[in-house]
Amino acid sequence: MSSARVEPIRPIVAPWAPDSWRTRPAVQMPTYPDKGELASCLDELKALPPLVTSREILGLKQQLADAQEGRAFLLQGGDCAETFSQCSSDTITNRLKVLLQMSLVLVHGLKLPVVRVGRFAGQYAKPRSADAETRDGISLPSYRGDIVNSPEFTEVARIPDPRRMIKAHARSAMTMNFVRSLIDGGFADLHHPEFWELGWVEQSPNAAEYQKMVTAIGDAVRFTEILIGRRMQSLSRVAFYTSHEALLLTYEESQTRQVPRADGWFNLSTHFPWIGMRTADLDGAHVEYFRGIANPIAVKVGPGVTPDALLRLIDALNPDDEPGRLGLIHRMGVGRIADNLPPLLDAVRREGRRVLWVCDPMHGNTESTSNGYKTRRFKNIREEIEQAFDLHAAAGTRLGGVHLELTGENVTECLGGARQLTEADLQRDYRSTVDPRLNYEQSLEIAMLIVRKRGGMSDPQGDS
Ligand code: PEP
Ligand code: CO
């Protein structure tokens, strides 16, 4: 049985400002050696135009509210970390293709709208387990993502450089611009799913199932258009939203603005920022920053979070229980989810709090191989998702989405999947500088798994 809360809710009444996080302990943040240069870079960033609009942000909040209520499903995915050098046409289109194909599988199988959110156009800052990295007796500051420093193991490369924030902003804008142009130009048109096909799709073990579905959708579209006597223009465009871990608060503050016809402060660098597991301390700078912005936000929930701590976080981040405001992305690991998730689900349901539950089956399942690669086993990723659906069903809560690290490239970073990748395969095409990602085939397999699992279940709260 779960225990009652130890203290009543105490609303936080302290005033908030885009820079009030500076009064709190800020972990995972670089120390810039040249304060004058930092200040001038931030001034420049504050004057640049925003990357997204408040209208889009509020539109996404509405869609996330739908996912929370079982009327839609969230697909959030992309790279662990974007890099400046991979801001290229192929990387962006391939990632978009995978996300579109996965969402097609989900829409078809779940018979629900899919909310598509990329981990891109700003995913440049990374939390690290240690502030310094030591090699052969030499210690240097850790690499913290391209927005902070450079990965080469030299003193110069590792010095935090504030000009990198301006470059990250520009790269994010280029990525957004290209994604928007592709979509506006009909790339995501449901009349032409062949536009999103990747070269090697025919050889994939999942190809037959995917092609059967594409044919069925094509037939349904043609049938409906004949029946209504016109082409359905709404099928030509889909909405795509962006998200990133808002870790580097100096950058996020510079993009936090008020707009003429909406209340509050918006982070206009992305639609849906999230708080990482290592920065989710209730009294820390990140929670302070996030509580004051009007965007929909999420927080990663790891195995160490107690029910009481989670309820306090919810009080701080969504005191009014606003629909679509708060996503809780649990990332427990396959060995711990069965013990650690149910008490959290029970507490949130018992207190009647309204949140969007999302499963990240990646970050609790990272391991190292004997040949020195950081990897994840497909089997563990699959089982964590399966267990998540079952545990939510048992608790009477609803899993409203998934959060994945994936790429459209045919990399060999995660073990297993339809092609049974082995440890020996990892060296063939391991490209990630941080976490191992699902490749195209493994991603599609996860989408099919979600359909089998969620599609075969009645909605836990029965109102969709
Ligand atoms: C991430 O999403 O890349 C990440 C670092 O996750 P977490 O905060 O859950 O460890
Ligand atoms: Co990661």
**Residue range 282-337, pLDDT digits in tens:** 999 999 999 999 999 999 999 999 999 999 999 999 999 999 999 999 999 999 99
Q: Where are the domains of the chain?
A: 21-455
Centroid of ligand 2 to alpha carbon of 433 (angstroms): 10
Residues sharing a CB contact under 8 Å with residue 254, sequence separation 6 or more, in sequence order: 42, 45, 46, 165
- Select from 406, 94, 117 the least CA-distant residue to 242: 117
- Select from 295, 353, 305, 312 the least CA-distant residue to 329: 305
In this prediction, residue 34 has a pLDDT band, given cuts at 50, 70 and 90, of: very high
Ligand 1: residue of 28, 300, 406, 433 to mutate (most ligand atoms within 8 A of CB) is 300
Q: Where are the beta strands (DSSP E) in 294-419?
A: 297-301, 326-330, 356-359, 367-368, 374-375, 399-405
| 359, pLDDT greater than 60 | yes
Ligand 1 neighbourhood includes 312 CB (under 6 angstroms): no
In this prediction, residue 463 has a pLDDT band, given cuts at 50, 70 and 90, of: very low
**Residue 245 alpha carbon, nearest atom of ligand 1:** 2
Q: Whose CA is nearest to atom 4 of ligand 1?
A: 276
Cα–Cα distances in Å, from 232 out to 213, 221, 228, 279, 460? Answer: 19, 8, 9, 45, 33
**Residue 403 alpha carbon, nearest atom of ligand 1:** 2
Compute the average pLDDT of residues 73-80: 96
Rg (CA), the chain: 22
Q: Looking at residue 179, what is its pLDDT?
A: 93
**Residue range 172-211, pLDDT digits in tens:** 999 999 999 988 887 777 777 777 666 655 667 777 777 7
Q: Looking at residue 199, what is its pLDDT?
A: 60
pTM: 0.93
Backbone CA torsion sign across 22, 25, 31, 34: positive
Q: What percent of the chain shows pLDDT beyond 70? A: 92
- Contact predicate 384/332, CB 8 Å: yes
**Residue range 226-263, pLDDT digits in tens:** 878 887 666 666 689 999 999 999 999 999 999 998 99
Q: Whose CA is nearest to atom 3 of ligand 1?
A: 80
| 428, pLDDT greater than 50 | yes
> Could you give the CA distance from residue 386 to residue 331 in angstroms, rounded to a whole number?
13
**Residue range 107-134, pLDDT digits in tens:** 888 989 999 999 999 999 999 999 999 9
Ligand 1 neighbourhood includes 363 CB (under 6 angstroms): yes
Q: Would you say domain 21-455 falls under CATH 3.30.450.20?
A: no
**Residue range 128-158, pLDDT digits in tens:** 999 999 999 999 999 999 999 999 999 999 9
Average pLDDT, the chain: 91
In this prediction, residue 61 has a pLDDT band, given cuts at 50, 70 and 90, of: very high
Q: Where are the alpha helices (DSSP H) in 141-230?
A: 155-158, 163-184, 207-228
Q: Whose CA is nearest to atom 10 of ligand 1?
A: 277
- Select from 407, 337, 311, 21 the least CA-distant residue to 299: 311
- Determine if residue 146 is left, alpha or beta; phi over 0 gives left, psi from -120 to 50 gives alpha, anything else beta: alpha
